[in-house]
Structures are given as C-alpha cells and as structure tokens.
Amino acid sequence: MNSFGRLFRVSIFGESHGEAVGIIIDGCPAGLPLHSNDFSDDLSRRKAGNKGTTPRKEDDKPEIISGLFDGHTTGAPLIILFRNSNVHSADYDAIKNTPRPGHADFVLHQKFGGYNDYRGGGHSSGRLTVALTAAGVVAKKLLPFATIQATLIEAGGDKDIDRAIANAIIKQDSIGGIVQCVVSGFPTGIGSPFFDSVESYIAHLIFAIPAIKGIAFGSGFASASMTGSEHNDAILNETGKTKTNHAGGINGGITNGNDLTFKVAVKPTSSTPKQQHTWNRTTNSIEAFQAKGRHDLCIALRVPVVVEAVTAIALTDLLLVSQRIDLIKPQ
Amino acid sequence: MNSFGRLFRVSIFGESHGEAVGIIIDGCPAGLPLHSNDFSDDLSRRKAGNKGTTPRKEDDKPEIISGLFDGHTTGAPLIILFRNSNVHSADYDAIKNTPRPGHADFVLHQKFGGYNDYRGGGHSSGRLTVALTAAGVVAKKLLPFATIQATLIEAGGDKDIDRAIANAIIKQDSIGGIVQCVVSGFPTGIGSPFFDSVESYIAHLIFAIPAIKGIAFGSGFASASMTGSEHNDAILNETGKTKTNHAGGINGGITNGNDLTFKVAVKPTSSTPKQQHTWNRTTNSIEAFQAKGRHDLCIALRVPVVVEAVTAIALTDLLLVSQRIDLIKPQ
Amino acid sequence: MNSFGRLFRVSIFGESHGEAVGIIIDGCPAGLPLHSNDFSDDLSRRKAGNKGTTPRKEDDKPEIISGLFDGHTTGAPLIILFRNSNVHSADYDAIKNTPRPGHADFVLHQKFGGYNDYRGGGHSSGRLTVALTAAGVVAKKLLPFATIQATLIEAGGDKDIDRAIANAIIKQDSIGGIVQCVVSGFPTGIGSPFFDSVESYIAHLIFAIPAIKGIAFGSGFASASMTGSEHNDAILNETGKTKTNHAGGINGGITNGNDLTFKVAVKPTSSTPKQQHTWNRTTNSIEAFQAKGRHDLCIALRVPVVVEAVTAIALTDLLLVSQRIDLIKPQ
Amino acid sequence: MNSFGRLFRVSIFGESHGEAVGIIIDGCPAGLPLHSNDFSDDLSRRKAGNKGTTPRKEDDKPEIISGLFDGHTTGAPLIILFRNSNVHSADYDAIKNTPRPGHADFVLHQKFGGYNDYRGGGHSSGRLTVALTAAGVVAKKLLPFATIQATLIEAGGDKDIDRAIANAIIKQDSIGGIVQCVVSGFPTGIGSPFFDSVESYIAHLIFAIPAIKGIAFGSGFASASMTGSEHNDAILNETGKTKTNHAGGINGGITNGNDLTFKVAVKPTSSTPKQQHTWNRTTNSIEAFQAKGRHDLCIALRVPVVVEAVTAIALTDLLLVSQRIDLIKPQ
C-alpha cells in the first residue's frame, strides 16, 4: 500500500516515465496559506544539476489540483501533481530482461508477474521523492514553531563532501553518504511507547525513501558501547532540558523537548557507471552489464531535503494524533 | 495508539505493576495448532535470572483466554495474558517526583497530566516485551518455512559477551549491546516500495522495543562508505540469489529471496547502579539520584528473542498483505 | 478484523462459552474518573431476566485489568473483561453438524474450515455485546455534554411492547423490533463528506451489533416519498437550528447541531422455540430442528443500550478525529 | 478523512468547481486489462441529460494518469481523473452568506472556518460520485464471477418511475426514491462478525454517497414485524442455499452464498426549484431562497450505478481481506 499517516495522511502515486508523479495529502487543516512558490526552495534543493547528480532535469512545477481555494487550504484533500516531461524511456528497454544489480527490477518483476512499469524503475523510482518533498513543504508550514534541518555530513566515507564527489567523478563509481537531521523547537510529550514511538514513526518514513539502509537516533550505534551513567541525560529543570542529548530527544518513544537528532545511511547509487554483471532472463546466463539512463553519482546529495520532508510528515501526524491541533491551527 | 499491523494485528496492553500485561492477536488464521508449551522456549530466552539480568523473576505463564478451541486457533482474536505476581511497587514511590534520568518518567508525566501509572514505568515498561515475545511465537509458527535468528554479537563494546558482563558487574554500571538478526527461507516479492517497504515495517516494530536506538539493514552504515560497484549484489540466477548480500535481502523495499539481515543498537539500561543526578519536581532542584527497584545490568542480553518476535510479526503481516496465505495456511 | 476507530479504538474478543469476553479501548484520554460501578446501570439494562429474555444470567461484573490507576484512566489501553460463568456447552453439541437456521453456524464453519468455536455461536455470539456496552459506558463519560437515548418503539409490529411480548410468549415464536435513537447536545461540524460521514460511521458500528438488518437517519425511508420542499429543513438562526429535522441532524455527512436521530431494525431472534428444518452435514439431508440452549424471545428488548453504546463510540472517535479534544478533556 | 478500504483502498479528491475530481485506487492487483472504454457504460448510466436530471453536462472522460502500462494494471496506485469543464461558478456566489436549506453549506462553513470551497458544494458535491463510479468499474472487473445490479424501484413514492418524474416536473419540486441492489454469484464466507460485517462495510460506503438516508438488508425493516419461524431461512443443502432469503444473503455478518440484497433510501434533491426560506449570515435574518445553479429534479435516477460501484468496492476489499485473491487473480 502506498499511504501513511492517521490524521495527516499522504498517498503517493505515479511512475518515473509515466504521465506524472504526485501525492495526496488528506487531513491538512483548513486555512493554511499555500502558494506554489512555497515549494520552490525545497524542490530546488532536491533538484539535479550539480556535480554528482543526474543530467535528467525536470521542471518540477507543482500543480495543486484540489484542496486549495483563494490561496488557502480548504480542509479537503490536497493533491499535488508533477508532470513528467524529460523522459527517455528507450534507455530502459534492456531492463525488461536484464534486471539491474542493486535495483528492484528483479523483485518487481517477480512480485507483479511482469506487469510492472519497468521504465526507469516505474513506481519505485527515486523520481517520486519529488512528491514526498512537496508534502514535506506543507507539513513544515504546519510546524512553524519547529526547525527541521538535514545535512549531508559525509560522502563516500569522506567528511569533505566536495572532495568526495571529485573522487567519485575521477573513479567513475557511485558513492553513498550519511545525512544528519536535527529538529529544534518541537514540543514535549508527543509520541507513545511501543508502536507509535517517535522512532518507529520517523524510521518507518525514512525507510520509505529509496536507498536508505540505516537510521540511528541520538548516540545511535555508539550508545551500544556506552555505560548507563555516560549515556543517561540528566534532567536539569522543569522544562525537561537535559545536560547531554544521547537520547536524541526521545525517551520511551516520546519527545522530551530537547533537539530530536538522528543519522541516516544512504547507500551508493545502484546505477554506477562501472561495468557490472547480472543475470539475463531470456538467456538465463550471466552477462556484463553497463547502466544506461541518466543517474546520480551521489544520490545522497539530494537526500537531505527528502529526509526533512518525511520527518515533517511524521511529526505533523504525531502532533495531530496527540490532539495538539492548538499548536498548528493556522491563525 | 498501541496496535500495529493490517491483517495480522497486535494490540499490547498492561502495566509493569498492574494486574497483568498481554497482547491481542487479530487476524491469526484458523487451524493453527497452539499449546501453552509452545511459548516456553522463547519466554525462557527472554527471562531474567542470568548474570547481568534483573533479580525480578516472573512466572511468565501465558494464559490464552480466547481464540483457541480444541488445541487450534479459531480465527477469532487470540488474547494472551501474563499475570504480574512479583511486584514491589513501593520501590517506585520516589519517581512520582524524581523522574529517573534516561527513563520516560518525565515525558509520561507531561503527556498524561500526571495520570500515568508511574510504578516501574507503568505501561512503558520493558515488562511488556513478554507480550511481544508471545505474539512472536504465534507468528513464527505461521512461518514454518523461515528461520529467524537473533544474536547478541557485542556488549559494552566487547565481542566477548561474558567478559563484557563480568566487567559491568565489577564497574557496577549498566551496558548496551548490538543484536544481529538473520532471516532465512523467506519468499521473494514481499513488501513494497515506499511506505510498506520491508525496512519500514521491520524498523517500525524494532523501535517499538524499549531501549533500541538504531537499526541498519545489510551493510548498513558501512554502505555509506562503499562505492556502487562494491555494494551492488550481482544476481546469479533465476532464483534471484546474489553473489554478495550488502542489501540485506531487500531491494526497493521488497524481499529478494536472499537472507534478510539487520543489526540493532541497544542502549545501556537506564537504571544503572551508579549514582546520578536528576531534577526534583517538588523542590525544583537538582539532587543526587540512586536507582531503586530491580533492574538489568545489560538488558541487551534479553533483547534477541524480542527482536525475533517483532520481526516475525512484521513478516507475517507483510505476507498476508501480499496475499500469500497459501504459504502459511495451516495444513 | 475485530477493531474499529482511529483515535478511540475498540477491539473486541472472547467467545460465548469460552473463558471470558471483553474489549480493549485504546485512545481513551488520561484523567477520566472511572469506577466499576459506572457500568452497573447500562449493564443491567442489557441484562437478561425480564419476560421475553433468555434465562441465561451472567454476573456481568466488569474487571478492568489495565489502563486504570488511582481511580482514573491513565492514557494507556483500558481492558475490560467479563468472565463467563453460566455456561451450558453441552446444549450446543448438535450444531457441529446441524447448522441452526438464521444463525451463522453454517458460514462460520465454511469460513474457518471447521476450526471455529461453535458453542453458543462462539465469537459471533450476542454475548459479546456486553463488551460493546462496557466500552459505550466509557465513551458516554467522555461526552458529558450530550445525551444519547435509545428506546424500543415497536416489537413484533406492535407499538405496545408489553402486549407484543405477551403474544410472543403465547405463540412461542420469537419476534423482532424497531429501536429509535436520539442524541442531543452534540456539537456542530463533526464528520466529513464521503467515507467519514456521521451516517457511515454510525451505520458501520450499528451493523456490528448482531441481528440488526436496517438503519435509517431522520425521515429515513419515508424521505424517499417526500418532495424537496417538504424534506428540506429551514435554517432558523446562526446556531444552525432548523425548523424541522428530516435530515436527522446531519447534512453532507456532518452534524448540524440539531438532534441526531435514527431508527434501527432488529430481526426476530433466530433461536425461536418453534420447530424448524435444516440441513444435516453428516447425513446431507434435511431434518426437523428444535433450538436448544437458552435464548431470548425478543432480543430487541436488550438492544437499545447496545445501540447507545456503539453510537457513543462512533461519536467519540469522530470528535477526536475532528480534533475536538477540548470538548472532552477531563477537567 | 477521504479514503476507505484495507487492501483495495480508494481515496477521493477534487471539487465540483475546481480543476478536477478523481480517485486513487491503491491495492488493485497487477495484470488486470483496463481501457478507458471500460468506463463508458457505467459513466453514461450516471450521466445527466435525461428528464429529471441536471442540465449540467460534463464530458466525464476518465484520464488514467498512473498505475497502467501496456493496457494492464501494474500493481502501483491507479489514479483516475476527471477534468471539470462545464463550470458556472458565478451561480454560487450567494451561498457564501445564504446557506442552502438541506445542503451542507452551513456545516462546512462552521467546520472549516469559512475556508471551504463553497462553489457548487465544493468537495462535498455529488459531482464526486463520478470518481466513485470509476473506481466501481475497476472493482467490478475484479469480480467477474459476480453480478451487481442496482435499480431504482420507486420515485416520489410511485413505483411507476416515468409518471413520478412527469409529476415532479409538473409540480416543479424535487423527489427522492428507493434503489434496490442485488449481488449474485458472490462466494460464501466473506466478512466477519462485528466490525467487519458485510453489512457494516456496505453500509459504510453506501452512506458515503450524498443524499442516502437509509439502508436495509434482506427483509430489512419488515423483518422487525416478522416472527423467527417466518424470518429464518431454511438451509437446503451443502452449498448453503436457503429456501427463502430474508437475511439478504448474510448471516452473522458473513456472506452465505445466496444473493446479497439491500434497499437504499434516497432523499429528494435539496436544490428544489420551489421557493424556500433560509438564514442569511450577513443580515442574521430569515429570507426567501431560490435555488440557483443547475440541479437534478430526481437525483435518485443517477444513484443506482453509484450504489453498484461502492458495493463492488466494499466486496473487493472484503474478498482481499479474506485472502481470496485466488478468486480475483487476473488470468
């Protein structure tokens, strides 16, 4: 299924080489001022065109075809559409029979009995993160009291990102990276123990982003080597502010008023320029494989804004489920 | 909210020092042979009593009070109850006003306006993982074709677990650990891109376990330092078997027929014997704090079976959502 | 599946002749004063013992085994259990092979491959309405500003209910009835067009009550014979009060501040004392059938309090989904 | 919220006088042949243009903008869009301040703080039933073994429909009607007791159709006047076929293999040509009111195909939840 959320619910649709991709947002409160310009900054952060990103450039112009009237949300479902224009489907003919290594081509064929739209990954394409990004813009506008900031802090194992990209270009091999996200100003008491923990919610949506292979909150995997007396964050006063923040702002699945912090591992783009091998469905033999199509050398460059988007979506839904509409009610 | 799953749905309830804890399983197919003995192995793996675990020992005897008839599941909701017997609530009087560092005491008080059952963490207690473990036993029985194996591979930063526990006892400070989980024999084509990705589902449930701070699939955070040509798993034949398994058995959110693998970071137990400091609600001042109650020095010792349980729950639900009841239909 | 609701979510479990029946309420706000005495009035309204009702008498003593602390709800799941004591299971041996006409015996056997607990209808029994009634008590306490009143207005086609029952006893044949429900004091603006219409929500839950075969809001089926100028309710002032109430308090799926009104059709109890015929699974032949067990001659007598209960559940959930916790926040 | 269904999930969007209306279908199995021509028959049955229906004529041309590839569904979300072309929004200026009697104008203004798109009812408009009808076409194609037939059997209290319409035209007052629906060939054992009863599911979706005020299964309200021995349907053989069908094909919430039958009450169109009165928000006084815009005199004429559509949607989802994909798997 392709939707998530209880009261702020997103439903994603579309294919990389189909007519359009987009998203429905159901449950956006009425009265939020919204204009297509609001999307520009985040959409351009996600856009291709820099070194290390794909040469496929889409207009990424959001069409809001329902749920907006006189410049404000109406309370009815918002649907935001992005037309696909810059489509080179012929590049993908080969993958009908030669599933690309690292990609979902093989499993999609198995799962859907060969009926999936295989062009450019079809519905599974990273192209659909433009829709997540757009939904994130709306969610962020509902959380004016919070700042959500994601940054690429490492690429290809190197904290100097420019150098990492330069090396990848020289080596002509794709690389991954690590994205850090910090949320400040979010209220205390949101989330629940067990299935609605803030970690569960955020992780669920983070792993909805293609190419993510890990997430860790606060001190994360390093906490496994710490002692309790080191790791515990001492509460300093009645606001719940703590001396350290090893917990990443979450105790027992519930926000504690300190910064929410987590890191995300992005694997290297599967479509590397390097020659590889794969199995051919027609000949049932292994053969050399060279990625066609237009691809990112370091998809991690474009991930931070998507991480912010899904974080904002998760937090907005949790806030509404926690009945804190008073915080987000448009004035 | 305290439930998870679409077609195999678990709902958890109870408090650490209340009358009972337990779980409802809705959607378990009819005809599965089930006996209270089936729970013994996994419940005893979770049990306290070894070095490094709490001296609180509960009988952990499962009462199946509905959904079972003549030794088989009926298709109606299964409810599995564990009575609390070994309760020392007086130990917890202090935490009404002195929220324990690293625990959810502070945020629960904020969230529920002081009405939460604070004794032993109440509904948030790790005690409730006995209920998750029980649900996992049922789920595992529905997946006879798969093996799910979780192991503590590191504690307190040391791969020699016995030594790690011995050191923690000497230092009288709690420690964390890393749990690895491997699932073999699970079919190809389960899961979806985006919100129903296998990673999303498993991570959602893993973070429902108290004390978990990170999860990473396949090569996980290490993949961020790899190149695409290193990371991509070459498909070898028509079964989808790959040469390597950096992807951890998942492409595009969908199982690819290779082993599912992931690692989980467990933080050190918040209730360390070491003296700490915290804020006192009554006096609004910082004071020295000494954990009372009975606690685990290394909760990570008891986590593997819970990791297996939630993994089995996630995979069973995904299998049913994927309409593969043919695989699990009791014969 | 056996649960309903988004933010005030009920999950029903148990069997007529099993150990217990009960319900989980997830999402009940913290701080609601609750005592087992609160259930007495509604449970005794549902109870058997009057003319026309079954001689099976259960204690119907609610055990609240979680979610309650110091006399208030804690915000954690409430679980309310009713032990079955007065069980005569031997009466039901025959129905293994002779499905009772009008009952679900045949379809349950088909659906669950014979694994269903057939005794007294098992999980499908009207016995489980005791659990719905209990959940209704909690929901009503959350709606102190509203009154929900259901009444049996007709039985066996007769508006004189005593006479109807007397006649049924003479004829020794079960009868049905019509229940009317009126909700006053409920706020304007709750519900949505389409799938979350107030009618959709209430009807969904009303048809969860065994033996209900119809529901009609406001003028209901009579409205089909009216003209628009007769049927339209003229708005009188800024409160939305209308001159008439043909709409039953709902426009476009949303409450309009006038009384919510609807009628419900209850079919005659399937277990009539009259001799009938049915098919025998073993002999594959038609044979005479006489209902055994203890049954109601007019189950409709016991339905009104259950109608109120599910109405209260539906309205509480809709109120929370509409983010009106301000209305129900325990003071 | 604007979606319904667990495994075959529809999400409706759009406004009467906005850019478009449409629906997402998530969970449609891959491999179903689908062409825009498939929609023609049902869309033209719903269309305006006959006596008694609105003069607003829309093209109702379905655009399938995702989820379809090479003439088959792909397993990804289907989105079906209908552009609005024939829009006379100026007709609706008045209703900003003069809520139409019988319509949702008043409650929508209250609910959404005046931000709702009030033109032609906005998102609440009957115009959106074109989207339900389209989703119904897809659902029907997934149920080739069943026939779903809804018919208008009475209008304005008259079983001679032509005469009823003629009279309404003479009187210049809108009328309601009764629609009967019969489903044949649907398998036994689908649905559940309580919240997933077939009646609950169908009723939920039927009341999602604007203007519906009642639903009754089998003998419906008449069953309230019957005795048990009259009402019970005697089982005749191992297929579950019954001698009579007072139950409407459902026992204990589960299909019994006989025809599913139910009737639906449609109220008269709120926008009657007759002069009425309503309250004016600006002047806070009662004033004469004359419906503007283009409206149906008997909306019930256009309801049957929508009843069929939501019935097909309900049954498809229940079938998938019951894990009977084997029945609908496209060959």
Condensed to tens digits (0 to 9), the pLDDT of residues C81-104 reads: 999 987 777 777 777 889 999 999
Q: Write out residues 115-174 of C within 8 Å (CB-CB) of D.
A: 121, 123-124, 128, 154-157, 168, 171, 173-174
Question: How much is the pLDDT for A295?
Answer: 80
The pLDDT value recorded for residue B330 is 56
Test D30 with A67 for CB contact under 8 angstroms: no
All structural domains of chain B? 3-327 (3.60.150.10)
Per-residue pLDDT reduced to its tens digit, A220-267: 999 999 999 999 999 999 999 999 999 999 999 999 999 999 999 999
Distance CA D107, CA A12 (A): 30
Q: How much of chain C, in percent, has pLDDT values that exceed 90?
A: 85
Write out chain A residues lying below 8 Å of B319, CB-based: none
Residue B2: predicted pLDDT: 96
Say if B192 is an interface residue toward chain A (CB within 8 Å): yes
Question: Span B69-74, mean pLDDT?
Answer: 96
Q: Report ipTM (2 d.p.).
A: 0.96
* pLDDT value of position B293: 72
Backbone phi and psi for residue B295, each to the nearest 5 degrees, phi listed first: -140, 165
pLDDT at B331 over 60: no
Helix (H) or strand (E) holding A317: helix A304-321
Q: Nearest Cα to D112, choosing from D128, D135, D96?
A: D96
pLDDT mean across residues, chain C: 93
Per the CB < 8 Å rule, is D323 touching B321? no
D274 to chain B, any CB pair closer than 8 A? The answer is: no
A152: pLDDT strictly greater than 90: yes
pLDDT exceeds 60 at position B76: yes
Nearest-CA distance C325 → chain A (Å): 7
Task: Work out the pLDDT band at D300, boundaries 50, 70, 90.
Answer: very high
**pLDDT value of position A64:** 97
Give me chain A's average pLDDT, please.
93
Structure tokens at A237: 């006063």
Contact B235 A2 (CB under 8 A): no
pLDDT at D330 (0 to 100): 56
A6 CB near a chain C CB, below 8 Å? yes
* Lateral strand order in the sheet of C212-217: C147-155, C177-184, C260-266, C212-217, D212-217, D260-266, D177-184, D147-155
Residues in chain D closer than 8 A to C111 (CB atoms):
188-190, 254, 322
CA closest to A10 among chain D residues: D11
Percentage of chain D beyond pLDDT 90 is 85
Mean pLDDT of B259-268: 98
CB–CB contact C252 D121 (8 Å): yes
What is the C-alpha to C-alpha distance for residues B5 and B295, in angstroms, rounded to an integer?
A: 31
Listed in order, strand segments (DSSP E) in D107-255 are 147-155, 177-184, 212-217, 250-251, 254-255
Summarize pLDDT for B221-256 with one digit per residue, the tens.
999 999 999 999 999 999 999 999 999 999 999 999
* Predicted TM-score (pTM) of this structure: 0.97
Between D91 and D316, the higher pLDDT residue = D316
Instruction: For D38-80, give the DSSP string.
Output: GGHHHHHHH-S-STTS-S-------EEEESEETTEE-SSPEEE
What pLDDT is stored for residue B308 in this prediction? 98
Give the model's pLDDT for residue A291: 83
Contacts of B253 in chain A (CB under 8 A): 104, 124, 207-208, 210
User: Hey, which chains touch D, using 3+ CB pairs under 8 Å?
Assistant: A, B, C
By mean pLDDT, which of A199-203, B180-184, D43-47 is the weakest? D43-47
DSSP states of A8-30 as a string? SEEEEEE-TTSSEEEEEEE-PPT
Exposed e or buried b per residue across C215-227, where buried means at least 16 C-beta atoms within 10 angstroms of its C-beta: bbbbbbbbbbbbb
Instruction: Kindly report, residue by residue over B110-152, the tens digit of the pLDDT.
Output: 999 999 999 989 999 999 999 999 999 999 999 999 999 999 9
Interface contact B112-C79, CB threshold 8 A: no
Which chain C residue's Cα is nearest to A321? C7
Region B150-168: mean pLDDT is 96
- The residue that leads in pLDDT, C197 or C331, is C197
Tokens of D39: 């929609």
- How many CB pairs below 8 Å do chains A and C form together? 14
B6: nearest CB among D6, D325, D326: D6
Cβ–Cβ of B225/A176 closer than 8 Å? yes
Asked if C267 is an interface residue toward chain D (Cβ–Cβ < 8 A), one would say yes
pLDDT confidence of residue D325: 79
Q: Give the least confident one: A130-144, C108-122, C147-161, D42-56.
A: D42-56
Across the interface, whether the CB atoms of A66 and D20 are under 8 A apart is answered: yes
Coil, strand or helix at C35: coil
- Chain C residues 7-26 with CB within 8 Å of chain A: 7
| Whether residue C228 has pLDDT greater than 70 | yes
Interface touch A224/B278, C-beta < 8 Å: no
Which of B:31-90 have CB within 8 Å of A? none
* pLDDT score of A313 more than 70: yes
Look at residue C331 and tell me whether its pLDDT is greater than 60: no
pLDDT of residue A138: 98
Q: Is the pLDDT of residue A29 over 90?
A: yes
Distance CA D257, CA D38 (A): 28
List CB contacts (< 8 A) between D265 and chain C. Answer: 216, 220-221, 223-224
In this prediction, residue B85 carries a pLDDT of 86
Q: What pLDDT score does A174 carry?
A: 96
Task: Give the neighbours of chain A: at least 3 Cβ pairs within 8 Å.
Answer: B, C, D
Residue of A nearest to C6 (CA): A6
- Higher-pLDDT residue of B243 and C59 is B243
Taking residues B257-270, report their average pLDDT.
97
Q: Which chain C residues are Cβ-neighbours of A6 within 8 angstroms?
A: 6-7
D189 contacts chain B (CB < 8 A): no
Select from A251, B17, A190, B109 the least CA-distant residue to C69. Answer: B17
B285 torsion bin: left (phi>0), alpha (psi -120 to 50), beta (else):
beta
d(CA C130, CA A142): 42
Given pLDDT bands bounded at 50, 70 and 90, which one contains residue A41? Answer: very high
Identify the bridge partners of residue B63 per DSSP, sorted by sequence position: B81
Mean pLDDT of D230-246: 96
Q: Rounded distance, CA A152 to CA D208, Å?
A: 46
* Confidence at A92, pLDDT banded by 50, 70, 90: confident
In this complex, do D232 and C102 lie within 8 Å of one another by their Cβ atoms? yes
- C229 to chain D, any CB pair closer than 8 A? The answer is yes
* Predicted local distance difference test score (pLDDT) of residue A330: 57
The SS3 assignment for B127 reads helix
What confidence category does residue A90 fall into, taking pLDDT thresholds of 50, 70 and 90? confident
Helix axes D198-206 and D304-321, enclosed angle (nearest 10): 140
Confidence at D53, pLDDT banded by 50, 70, 90:
confident
pLDDT band at C329 (very low <50, low <70, confident <90, very high): low
Q: What is the pLDDT of residue A13?
A: 97
% of chain B beyond a pLDDT of 90 = 85
